[in-house]
Structure 1
C-alpha cells in the first residue's frame, strides 16, 4: 500500500523540490524530483509536473510515496555481543561496521539479519527493521536496545519520545573546548547541497529540533574525550553538533576536515557508552554500560602517552 504525506506550507516561499526536501528528510533531492516527474505530488489538489513550482504560504502539498519493493529478510549467523536479555528486551554492544537494518546498498549482513537468527522480534517496527527502537550509525559502536515484543516496542518508543530514556555517548574530538560543558540546541536537517549529509539549519523551519548536552571528560592535548547525552535523536546528531561547535569527532569520514591522528580507526571515534531505561514490563530501571571497543581504547592510550596523562577511571 502506498504511503502519503500531506503538508500545509507556512511562512516559507521556496521551490517545490527544495521545500519538500526540507520536509521529507529521509529522501534525497533526486528521489523527490522523480516523484514530481511521476505525477506523485499535488499542490492544492492539482498534479504538479515541475520541480520549479514555487510553494507559497497556505499551499497544501500532497505526496504519494510508492510502496518500496520489500525483499524477504533472511536470518544470518552473525555473532552478537549481548549486554542484557530477557523475554521482552535485548540490549547489544554493536561493533563498528555493522549496519543496523537493511537499506539501499546494504540488503543483508545487518544487525536485523543477525537478530532474526537469534530471537523473535517485535513486528510493528516495520518489515525491514523489526524490533529496532533506535539506531546507531554504521561505524558508531555501543549499546542499542531491541524490542522482542510489540508491547516492549511501544513502551520503549514512548520513553524515547518523552525523553525519559537516557542515552550517553563517549567521543574523542579534535581540539580543546574552551568550557567544561555546554548544550548545543540547533535544528538539524538534510544538507541543502550534499543530500547524503545532515547539517545544522540556521533557519529553524528547515530543520528539526536537536539538543545535545556535553561535558569534558578528559583533555588530551589537542584532542578531548567528551561525554555526550542526547535529548533528541536526529540522524548523525552528535557528529553534526560536534562539527558545528568546531570540534568534529575524530576520524569522522563525513564531518571532520580530514585530520590525521596516526591511529587506525574503523570510523568515527564515537561510542554509545551507557543506556538507561525503564523495563517495558516490570517498570524497573535498567542501566547498561557497553565496554569501549579495542580501537577506542587504543586511541585513548596513544593520546595519553603523547601528553603523559594518567588513565581515566572510565
Structure 2
C-alpha cells in the first residue's frame, strides 16, 4: 500500500496522473475503476473527486482492494480489524451463522467472502467466537485463526455484554437481576433447563429501565 498527502486543491485523477507519473494513464484509470484508491479512509472510484490540502490518499494492493470491494458489495460494517480479529456490526434480521435451512444469508458466510480475497488460500476463513440472535443487532467478534478463537472463548466469561431493548410495558421494578440456566443443543438452539442439568450454563442478566 502506498500513501500520499495532498498539498494543493485538485481533482483525484489529476493528482494521480501527477503523482504516479511512472505509470501509464490507462493503468491509473484501471486502478481507480477497480476501487484501489482510498481518500481519507474511504474508497472512491470517481475520477473528479475533489481534493484539498491535507487529504490522505491510499493506493491499495490488488488483494486489499478486492477485499474492500467485497466489503462494500456485501454491506459489511467493520468496526475494527487487525491480523487476529474482526469486530463487525450485525444488523437485526441477519443470522450470525448458518442453519439447516439457511447457509448463505449469514454474517459468517459474508465475512468469509470478504476475507478470502485477501489471501491466496481458498481454505482461509473466519472463526465464530460468539453469536447474537437473529433479531438482535450489535457488535460481534470473529477470530482469524482457531488459536485466537479458543483463547477468546476460554476467557469469554470475563466479557461484559450490554443490550438495549424496547419492551411492551414497563417492568414493575426499575432495576433487577434475572437468573436462569440455559443449554445449547446440537442445532445451536438455546433453551432453559433445570439447575441440575449436566449441560446447564448459569446465565445472569442485570437490567435497568432507562426511560419510559
TM-score after normalising by structure 1 = 0.37
Other-structure match for 2:108: 112
Other-structure match for 1:79: 75
Contact 1:183 1:211 in 2 (8 A): no
Q: Distance in 2 between matches of 1:211 and 1:150?
A: 26
Q: Measured at CA, do residues 197 and 164 of structure 1 come closer, stay the same or move farther in structure 2, by a change above 3 Å?
A: closer
What SS does the corresponding residue of 2:132 show, helix, strand or coil? Answer: coil
2:210 paired with 1:210: no
Shift of residue 209, structure 1, vs aligned partner: 2.6
Q: Distance in 1 between matches of 2:199 and 2:109?
A: 32
What SS does the corresponding residue of 2:205 show, helix, strand or coil? Answer: strand
Other-structure match for 1:231: none
Contact 2:84 2:144 in 1 (8 A): yes
Q: Distance in 2 between matches of 1:109 and 1:219?
A: 35
Shift of residue 196, structure 1, vs aligned partner: 10
Task: Kindly report which structure 2 residues correspond to 1:45-124, keeping only aligned pairs within 5 A, or say none.
Answer: 78-119=74-115
Q: Measured at CA, do residues 150 and 91 of structure 1 come closer, stay the same or move farther in structure 2, by a change above 3 Å?
A: same
Structure 1 runs (4+) greater than 3 angstroms displaced: 195-204
Q: Measured at CA, do residues 202 and 173 of structure 1 come closer, stay the same or move farther in structure 2, by a change above 3 Å?
A: farther
Q: Measured at CA, do residues 174 and 210 of structure 1 come closer, stay the same or move farther in structure 2, by a change above 3 Å?
A: farther
List gaps (5 residues or longer) in structure 1: 1-74, 121-126, 221-314
RMSD of aligned alpha carbons: 3.1
Task: Kindly report which structure 2 residues correspond to 1:147-186, keeping only aligned pairs within 5 A, or say none.
Answer: 147-160=143-156, 163-186=157-180
- Of 167, 192, 197, 1:200 maps to 192
- Structure with the bigger RCO (C-alpha within 8 Å, sep 6+) is 1
Q: Distance in 2 between matches of 1:166 and 1:106?
A: 30
Other-structure match for 1:188: 182
List gaps (5 residues or longer) in structure 2: 1-69, 117-122
**Number of residues of Structure 1 aligned to a counterpart in Structure 2:** 134
Contact 2:111 2:126 in 1 (8 A): no
Other-structure match for 2:59: none
